[in-house]
């Protein structure tokens, strides 16, 4: 069975950025999201981007004034990020995000795990391990920003087949196969040959965890975080949590759009 890293190395990394359209527009979108959430440097300005992909969040945070350590398992995606960072303060680090949290380093003001990276972890125990690692790595009052897909509601029939991208030479589709604790995500990529014009299919699958927003909030709080903001839009959950006791009174805000 392919691991998440295998799936990206063999298939998805090559096509990852094209799934999101214009790269610079995606960075601008993520910067606007951080600004709306009130995320900006408050102290040492060190941030870690866990599962950074090709760097949409990393570059947005660097534009806001953070010095970012961008962590991912994919050499291809990290190389793309490095080619796009210019003079921005982004350091790339290849490795598993759980291991990255165990490495020596100074305290961070901010940790982010965005896109749909959180469900890529191997188990709910790994999710808790990540939260515990973030709690150790963050300075008191540091923030953790998460976005992830709520896969607890099962799609049925043809709704399980999701168009991802289409262009003159690449068509990407995925379909979902539900299991009790995970979803098998099958990615199908059709590419047109440059010389013969023939279409070829590449396919692979990996598993994502089915994480409910309530469970994630509960486990954050069990690991010393206080959830400050929670919203859901079109199945994508956004959470902002603060480590330690910050004296804010920190009522949880829930927004459904």
Domain final position from 193, 209, 225: 209
Give pLDDT, residue 110: 97
Residues counted in the chain = 257
Report how far residue 140's alpha carbon sits from residue 184's, in angstroms, rounded to the nearest whole number: 38
Q: Tell me, yes or no, whether 204 and 221 share the same domain.
A: no
Give pLDDT, residue 27: 98
Q: Helix, strand or coil for residue 28?
A: helix
Report, as ranges of residue numbers, the positions in the chain whose pLDDT lies below 50.
Answer: 246-257
Q: Tell me, yes or no, whether 111 and 61 share the same domain.
A: yes
Work out how many domains the chain is built from and give that number. 2
- Of the candidates 232, 48, 201, 251, the one whose C-alpha atom is nearest the C-alpha of residue 136 is 48
Q: Cα angle vertex 244, ends 238, 247, to 5°?
A: 95
Q: Tell me, yes or no, whether 144 and 247 share the same domain.
A: yes
- The CATH number covering residue 192 comes to 2.20.25.110
Residue 116: other Cβ atoms inside 10 A:
18
Q: Tell me, yes or no, whether 94 and 45 share the same domain.
A: yes
14 CB-near residues (< 8 Å, 6+ apart): 76
The residue range of the domain holding 173 is: 157-209
Q: Tell me, yes or no, whether 64 and 164 share the same domain.
A: no
- The CATH number covering residue 84 comes to 3.40.50.150
Q: Is the dihedral of CA 234, 70, 24, 16 positive or negative?
A: negative
Report how far residue 136's alpha carbon sits from residue 244's, in angstroms, rounded to the nearest whole number: 10
Structure tokens at 2: 């392919």
Give pLDDT, residue 255: 44
Q: Tell me, yes or no, whether 168 and 232 share the same domain.
A: no
Residue 13: other Cβ atoms inside 10 A:
22
Chain centre distance of CA 243: 20
Give pLDDT, residue 103: 84
Q: Tell me, yes or no, whether 201 and 167 share the same domain.
A: yes
Q: Tell me, yes or no, whether 140 and 180 share the same domain.
A: no
Q: Tell me, yes or no, whether 123 and 191 share the same domain.
A: no
- Of the candidates 211, 147, 216, 151, the one whose C-alpha atom is nearest the C-alpha of residue 178 is 151
Q: Is 86 left (phi over 0), alpha (psi -120 to 50) or beta?
A: left
Q: Tell me, yes or no, whether 176 and 68 share the same domain.
A: no
The residues with which 166 forms a beta bridge, in sequence order, are 171
Report how far residue 12's alpha carbon sits from residue 149's, in angstroms, rounded to the nearest whole number: 18
Q: Tell me, yes or no, whether 21 and 108 share the same domain.
A: yes
Contact (CB, 8 A) for 17 and 81: no
Give pLDDT, residue 245: 58
Q: Tell me, yes or no, whether 185 and 244 share the same domain.
A: no
Distances (CA, A) of 243 to 3, 35, 134: 31, 20, 9
């Amino acid at each position: 069975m392919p691991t998440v890293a295998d799936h990206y190395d063999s298939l998805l990394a090559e096509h990852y950025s094209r799934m999101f359209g214009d790269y610079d527009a995606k960075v601008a979108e993520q910067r606007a999201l951080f600004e709306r959430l009130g995320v900006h440097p408050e102290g040492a300005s060190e941030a870690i981007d866990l599962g950074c992909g090709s760097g949409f969040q990393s570059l947005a945070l660097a534009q806001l004034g953070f010095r970012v350590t961008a962590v991912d398992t994919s050499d291809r995606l990290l190389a793309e990020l490095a080619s796009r960072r210019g003079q921005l303060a982004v350091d790339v680090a290849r490795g598993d995000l759980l291991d990255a949290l165990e490495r020596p380093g100074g305290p961070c003001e901010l940790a982010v795990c965005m896109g749909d990276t959180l469900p890529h972890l191997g188990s709910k125990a790994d999710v808790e391990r990540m939260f515990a690692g973030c709690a150790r790595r963050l300075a008191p009052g540091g923030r953790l920003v998460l976005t992830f897909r709520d896969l607890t509601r099962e799609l049925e029939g043809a709704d399980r087949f999701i168009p991802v991208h289409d262009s003159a030479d690449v068509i990407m589709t995925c379909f979902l196969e539900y299991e009790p604790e995970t979803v098998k995500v099958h990615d199908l990529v059709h590419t047109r040959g440059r010389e013969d014009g023939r279409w070829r299919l590449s396919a692979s699958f990996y598993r994502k965890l089915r994480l409910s927003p309530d469970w994630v909030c509960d486990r954050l709080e069990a690991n010393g975080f206080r959830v400050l903001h929670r919203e859901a839009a079109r199945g994508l959950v956004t959470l902002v949590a603060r480590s330690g006791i910050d004296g804010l009174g920190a009522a949880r805000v829930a927004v459904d759009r």
